[in-house]
Amino acid sequence: MVTTATTAAPLIEKHTIGYVPPEDRHGKTRDLFTLWFGGNIAPLPIVTGALGVQMFHLNLVWGIVAILVGHLVGGVLMALHSAQGPQMGIPQMIQSRTQFGSLGALLVVLIAGIMYIGFFASNIVLAGKSLHGVVDSVPVPVGIVIGALGSGIIGIIGYRFIHVLNRIGTWVLGAGIVLGFGYIFTHVQTADFLTRGSFNISGWLATVSLAALWQIAFAPYVSDYSRYLPASVPVAATFWTTYLGTVLGSSLSFIFGAVAVLATPVGMDTMDAVKLATGSIGPLMLVLFLLSVISHNALNLYGAVLSVITLVQTFAYRWIPTAKSRAVLSVIILAACCFAAVGASANFIGHFVDMVLVLLVVLVPWTAINLIDFYAIHKGQYDIDSIFKVDGGIYGRYNPQALLAYAIGIAVQIPFMNTPLYVGPISEHINGADLSWLVGLLITSPLYYWLANRDSAYKRRLSTGKLANSI
């Protein structure tokens, strides 16, 4: 029988990638709503949302429709990953060993770690620009370091503090963005606010993809923030609080970016457009966004550190990482990102978005495999002890079925890709629309299910294992 913690959880998190026992479980599902709502009211989703009208030349109405469709679809996948946390009690990347094997999961863990570091570096650049916008005397490089240090302190303290800050941030940032919308709509500075841009199918699909991929990008770490909830928490409750929080928060930020850009002259930088469009409350909005990006960026640092620990622990399986290990790695990653961000080009954010689009080509089939394995094949039942064994226990070092489906899932996306590095022939034929993520999901999901179910050896391993958790 599952029990919940009877004592207050410590402020500084003591667990890293290990299983969270019942006595250390705490929190409510409503914390997931505030985490993903407050965490998504931030500069980076605002900048990303503005691309629908800036880069893809949609008008306001079609831009909003594309944003909503993308988040509503992508949010389903993201929330399904979140619902795994209370059932498993371990970080998402460690859980990938059950699908790919102890060594087979390393590639996905490495890619996720690179993505977190990219997000962290991009956000501290935005923090530096926001701080400079609020206080002109603070140079952007200094602002970058200050933003990184703030996120670092939050990330080192860990899980509980991250949730506490986002509970506060939900109310403050929610009120702030509503106030910002109100000011912009009553102080529009352009005559073509509603008529600039038009519907075009490639731009609409590209904007849908950006929004959906924004949600999918959370998939490798979303359950890290639900794993401390009691195992008795219903899967549906975890799903819906996460889904509503992330879809609502992300959609508001994406739409805010599009509205701010359309309300100001063509060609302005998005955050400059936000400052101009919000007029007298502009400094207040920048302060709120600065606090938001510092708080939310702690998640990226936290995820990067857990990924590094997972990589190292795969080989140093006797190593038991502690809070001190997490703190040391946080400082190392923080320092490296500051060095890179201070010396980054002016178009760093644009280069980052390009990198994420490429990385997501290899994360999409992982998402499909992980969800099919959890919900359709294992039905939430896993042997926790095997996950931490050097040989992978009943899951082995490699799972050929998962690796084959993963490779095919990447390959089928290539003709549909549209990234700065490569444009596939099918994408080029349909005016540049990128449908790779959708194709990857639709092909990988049934393929992995079929491969896993036809492998008798795989089934025997599962039937002989000690199944520790169930939905």
DSSP letter string over 29-48?
THHHHHHHHHTTSSHHHHHH
pLDDT in tens, 427-459: 878 767 778 889 999 999 999 999 988 765 555
Nearest to 225 by CA among 13, 447, 445: 13
Contacts of 326 (CB under 8 A, 6+ apart): 13, 16, 156, 158, 305, 306, 309
pLDDT at residue 63, rounded to an integer: 95
Long-range contacts of 401-405 (CB under 8 A, 24+ apart): 401/448, 401/451, 401/452, 401/455, 401/458, 402/99, 402/100, 402/101, 402/104, 402/369, 402/373, 402/448, 402/451, 402/452, 403/100, 403/104, 404/451, 405/365, 405/368, 405/369, 405/444, 405/447, 405/448, 405/451
CA 448 to chain centre: 24
Element (H, E) at 169: helix 159-186
pLDDT in tens, 230-284: 888 888 999 999 999 999 999 999 999 999 999 998 888 888 888 888 888 888 8
DSSP assignment, residue 418? B
Element (H, E) at 243: helix 235-262
Task: Report how far residue 171's alpha carbon sits from residue 166's, in angstroms, rounded to the nearest whole number.
Answer: 9
Amino acid at 178: V
Sign of CA dihedral 225, 227, 233, 237: positive
406 and 335 Cβ atoms separated by less than 8 Å: no
Task: Report how far residue 243's alpha carbon sits from residue 118's, in angstroms, rounded to the nearest whole number.
Answer: 24
Residues in the chain where the model's pLDDT stays below 50: 1-7, 465-471
pLDDT at residue 13, rounded to an integer: 58
Distances (CA, A) of 449 to 356, 379, 402: 27, 13, 9
CA 209 to chain centre: 15
Residue ranges covered by each domain of the chain? 29-88+156-295+349-464
> Which CATH code, of 3.90.1200.10, 3.30.1490.100, 1.10.4160.10, 3.40.50.20, is assigned to 29-88+156-295+349-464?
1.10.4160.10
pLDDT at residue 470, rounded to an integer: 40
Whole-structure pTM value: 0.84
Nearest to 227 by CA among 91, 94, 326: 91
